[in-house]
Amino acid sequence: MINPYQPYAVRIDNIDIATEDKSLKTFRFVFLNKEDENKFAYEAGQFAELSIPGKGEIPIGIASSPVEKGFVTFTVNRAGLVTTHLHKMKVGDIMGIRGPLGNCYPWELLEGKNILIIGGGFAFTTLRSSIIYLLHPDNRSKFGNINVVYGARSPGMLLYKDQLAEWEKRDDINMHITVDGTDDPDWKYNVGFVPTIVEQKAPPGNTASYAIICGPPIMIKFTQPVLEKLGYEHDHIIMSLENRMKCGIGMCGRCNIGQELVCKDGPVFTLAQLNKTPKEY
């Protein structure tokens, strides 16, 4: 019997400070056993439990993309017990990863469609994974137009700056990067909250377009009416939830919204699905 609670052993291969305030770090892991990497086959949108012996486990979205081989990456915000400990760990340290867990963004359904990606703050991790996947030469032709609205408090708080700059240069993806505010005179992108930029820059919705939205609750709350105005139906608005989790495999009982378990039936739901469940997220 496969034990779904037993993590794969991994080594920290690289640590990058991801934001200027050092509250976020991106960790790259390699599997101690090569076969485990194959067993950990994942899709963009899934998450994993990062497992630190002696401290505990935390559910974190997978930031690397299935088209990137040889490692997995996660970007972690320093918040409480386990994340603070992880921030103190060093390259070479051994820990565990359990997963991949949960569902992914509905890639088959999205084929042939225009995709609007909206991200705020550090909830951009699985969106990074998704964009890399979409832009891969094997995949790009399968999808329609791609628009990305990504916002952070300030320029220094934007994640994955090198990649953002690369994507800005491409003509097969429209980037709309924004910050809440900045005193940088050389800032060449947008200033304004995500919902406002969506209203100004995002293409209108129709049967051939889907929106994927990930961010803090407040951003989602104000973006939803904007998307409705733009013509995105509720079953074309895709969101990813973050309830408190332990097991990640639908057994410990804490992450439910109605009869759905966020860890197993989610974390990705359409707004139409969420409309049918109690608002316990």
Ligand X SMILES: Cc1cc2nc3c(=O)[nH]c(=O)nc-3n(C[C@H](O)[C@H](O)[C@H](O)COP(=O)(O)OP(=O)(O)OC[C@H]3O[C@@H](n4cnc5c(N)ncnc54)[C@H](O)[C@@H]3O)c2cc1C
Q: Which positions lie near other proteins, rule CB under 8 A?
A: 1-7, 9, 32, 51, 53-57, 79-80, 83, 93-96, 217, 242-244, 246-247, 249-259, 264, 276-281
CB nearer to ligand FES: give 226 or 263: 263
The answer to whether 201 contacts ligand FES (rule: CB under 6 A) is no
Q: Position 181: which residue type? A: G
The answer to whether 60 contacts ligand X (rule: CB under 6 A) is yes
Concatenated DSSP letters of the chain:
---TTPPEEEEEEEEEE-STTS-EEEEEEEESSHHHHHHT---TT-EEEEEETTTEEEEEE--S-TTS-S-EEEEEE--SHHHHHHHH--TT-EEEEEEEES----HHHHTTSEEEEEEETTTTHHHHHHHHHHHSTTTGGGS--EEEEEEESSGGG-S-HHHHHHHHH-SSSEEEEEES----TT--SEES-HHHHHHHHSPPP-TTEEEEEES-HHHHHHHHHHHHHHT--GGGEEEE-----SSSSS-S--SEETTEETTTT-SEEEHHHHHTS----
**Selected range binding ligand FES among 18-26, 199-207, 230-238, 246-254, rule: CB under 6 A:** 246-254
How many residues bind ligand FES (CB under 6 A)? The answer is 12
The answer to whether 192 contacts ligand FES (rule: CB under 6 A) is no
Q: Which of 238, 248, 257, 260 binds ligand FES (CB under 6 A)?
A: 248
CB nearer to other proteins: give 198 or 241: 241
The answer to whether 254 contacts ligand FES (rule: CB under 6 A) is yes
**Selected range binding ligand FES among 79-87, 102-110, 196-204, 244-252, rule: CB under 6 A:** 244-252
Backbone angle region of 237, left / alpha / beta, with phi > 0 → left and psi within -120 to 50 → alpha? beta
Q: Which of 42, 47, 232, 269 binds ligand X (CB under 6 A)?
A: 47
Question: Please, what is the minimum distance in Å from the beta carbon of residue 4 to other proteins?
Answer: 5
Q: Segment 239-258, which members bind ligand X (CB under 6 A)?
A: 242-243, 245
Per the DSSP assignment, residues forming a β-bridge with 8 are: 97
**Selected range binding ligand X among 188-196, 204-212, 214-222, 237-245, rule: CB under 6 A:** 237-245
Question: Please, what is the minimum distance in Å from the beta carbon of residue 83 to ligand X?
Answer: 3
CB nearer to ligand FES: give 142 or 246: 246
Contacts to ligand X by CB under 6 A: 47, 56, 58-61, 75-77, 79-84, 122, 125, 242-243, 245, 267
